[in-house]
Chain A
Amino acid sequence: MEILPQSFADRQALIAHVKSLWMDAGGDEAMTQNVSPMEASPEALAARLDAVDPQAYARSRNFLNGKITKLSPYIRHGMVSLNHVRNLALDRAGRKADAEKLIQELAWREYWQLVRRDYPNWIWQDAEPYKTGYTARDYADDLPDDIARGETGVAAIDDIISILVSTGYLHNHLRMYLASYICHWRRVKWQAGARFMLGHLIDADAASNNLSWQWIASTYSRKPYIFNLENMQKYCGDTINTISRHNIPLDAGYDVLTSRLFPQMDPMANG
C-alpha cells in the first residue's frame, strides 16, 4: 500500500504533489495551470463563517459584489454541516425571518441531495423533455472548443469562463448565465456543459451542478432559463465586460431573445 504524505513545506509544495498524482493518472496538464485561491484550511473556513451576515445576504446576494458566503466548497466537502451554518444564521439574524433567504439557499443544497438519492439516473439523463421547441437530438453532444478555451467572442461569456478556469469558483448568477448561453445560445446538451463546469469548480457536486443545469435547460423545469445583457449590467458591476458592442448576441429584450432562441416553442405550452 502506498501511503501519501500529509504535511508539506508550503501550499506550493502541496500543489506540486497533487499535480504529480494528476499527471501519473493520465490527467491533462493544461488543467493544472490554475488552482483556486480559496484554501481548504480551518482558518479559511472560520473566516468565511465569521463573515456570514444573513440580512446583508438577503439584500445583496444577486449582485456579484454582494455579501454571499462562499461557503459552498466547505459545505460540498462536509467541512461544515448545513446544520451548523443554519444555526449560525439564526444566531446572527435577530429575527428568524431575516435568516430565511440564506436558509432557503441551504435548503437547495439539501434538496438536490434528496433528488439524487431518489432519482440517481437524473444526474446524467434528462429528467423530462426539453420545453424549448427542440428535442434532445437537436442539441450538440460535445462542448465546442471555443467555449472550453473561453474564446466565444462574446466578451461577458469569455470573462465568466476565464474566472471559472482561473479560480474554480463562480457566483451563482454567473453559473446560470454561462449554462444558459451554452444550452440555449449554442444549443449544446446540458450534459456537456455540466461536465465542463464540474471539471473546474472546487465545489463541484454532481447533484447540485447537474440538476441545476437541467433546470436551466428546461429538462427539470417548466421553461428554459434565459437572461439578457441588461440583466448582466444590473448585477455584474465592472467585473464582467458588459459593453453592448462586445456582447451583441445577448443585447436584446426577452421577447426578441425568446423568439430568436426558441422559434418553435409554444409559449402557451409552458404556462
Chain B
Amino acid sequence: MTDIIWIHDGALRADHPMFKDKADVKSVFIWDDAYFKSAAIGFKQQVFIYEALTHLPVEIIKGDTVSILKELAGNNGAIITAATTSVELNRMMALINQTHSVEAIADETFAHLKSSPDLRRFFRYWNKAKSSAMDYHGGTPDLFGR
C-alpha cells in the first residue's frame, strides 16, 4: 500500500493539517497544464505557484493529475489532500475516488457556524459567523494550546 499526499495549489504550506502524522508519506504536486487551463491559472500565477513549491518538501511531476496519482498509489494506496471548494480540483478528486480512497483534510477553522447561513448576501453570513470569527481559532475549545 502506497499512500500519497497530493499537494494542490490551494494548500502550499508544510504545516497544513493534511500532513499531520504523515511524516513518512511521499508528497507530490502535479504540474498539470490541462488543469491550469481549465482553472484559468495564468503565467504570472504559475510562477508564483512554482516558486512556492521550491520551498516545500514535495516532488513536482509533470502530467495528468488523475492518472499520475492513480499510478503512484498503486492498487491499494490512498490519496491524502487538502479539502477545497475548487470545482476543477473536486472534479479530479471525484475521478480518483472511483478507484482509490481520497481523504480531503480541512484547513484550520476560521469560523464555526451554528446553522446554515443564507449565502445569497455577505452580511447574512457575517451576522452568523461574526462571534466565532472574532475569537482565536474561531472559538474552538483548547485544541491549540491557548
Name A's B-contacting residues (CB within 8 A): 1-8, 11, 14-15, 17-19, 21-22, 24-25, 27, 31-32, 34-36, 38-42, 73, 76-84, 86-87, 90, 96, 99-100, 103-104, 106-108, 110-111, 113-120, 123, 127, 168, 195, 198-204, 206-207
Closest approach, in angstroms, between the C-beta of A146 and any C-beta of chain B?
Answer: 20
Contact check, A116 vs B85: say whether CB atoms are below 8 A apart: yes
The 5 A-B pairs at the shortest CB distance, nearest first, are namely: A25-B33, A83-B108, A78-B11, A40-B52, A40-B51
Report, as a range, how many residues of chain B touch the other chain. Answer: 35 or more
Additional A-B contact list (6), CB under 8 Å, known A83-B137, A103-B134, A202-B44: A14-B54, A25-B33, A31-B44, A35-B47, A111-B126, A119-B119
Contact check, A114 vs B119: say whether CB atoms are below 8 A apart: yes
Please give me the residue from chain A that is nearest to B91 by CB atom.
A120
Contact check, A106 vs B133: say whether CB atoms are below 8 A apart: yes
If the complex has contacts A2-B63, A3-B60, A18-B47, are A77 and B9 also in contact, measured as CB distance less than 8 A? yes
Contact check, B55 vs A41: say whether CB atoms are below 8 A apart: yes
Count how many pairs of residues, one from A and one from B, have CB atoms less than 8 Å apart in the complex.
186
Chain B interface helix/strand/loop/mixed: mixed
If the complex has contacts A11-B51, A41-B55, A81-B108, are A114 and B45 also in contact, measured as CB distance less than 8 A? no
Contact check, B40 vs A206: say whether CB atoms are below 8 A apart: yes
Please give me the residue from chain B that is nearest to A89 by CB atom.
B134
Contact check, A21 vs B48: say whether CB atoms are below 8 A apart: no
Please give me the residue from chain A that is nearest to B44 by CB atom.
A168
Please give me the residue from chain A that is nearest to B50 by CB atom.
A18
Contact check, A114 vs B125: say whether CB atoms are below 8 A apart: yes
Please give me the residue from chain B that is nearest to A115 by CB atom.
B119
Contact check, A204 vs B40: say whether CB atoms are below 8 A apart: yes
Contact check, A2 vs B62: say whether CB atoms are below 8 A apart: yes
Encode contact with A along B7-49: 1 for CB under 8 Å, 0 otherwise. 0011111001000000000000001010011011111111111
* Max chain A C-beta neighbours (<10 A), residue from B47, B55, B87: B47
Q: Is B138 an interface residue (CB 8 A)?
A: yes
Q: Is B86 an interface residue (CB 8 A)?
A: yes
Contact check, A200 vs B122: say whether CB atoms are below 8 A apart: no
Complex alpha-carbon distance, A119 and B136, angstroms: 29
The 8 Å CB contact of A35, one of B44, B125, B134, is: B44
Please give me the residue from chain B that is nearest to A118 by CB atom.
B119
* Max chain B C-beta neighbours (<10 A), residue from A78, A96, A123: A78
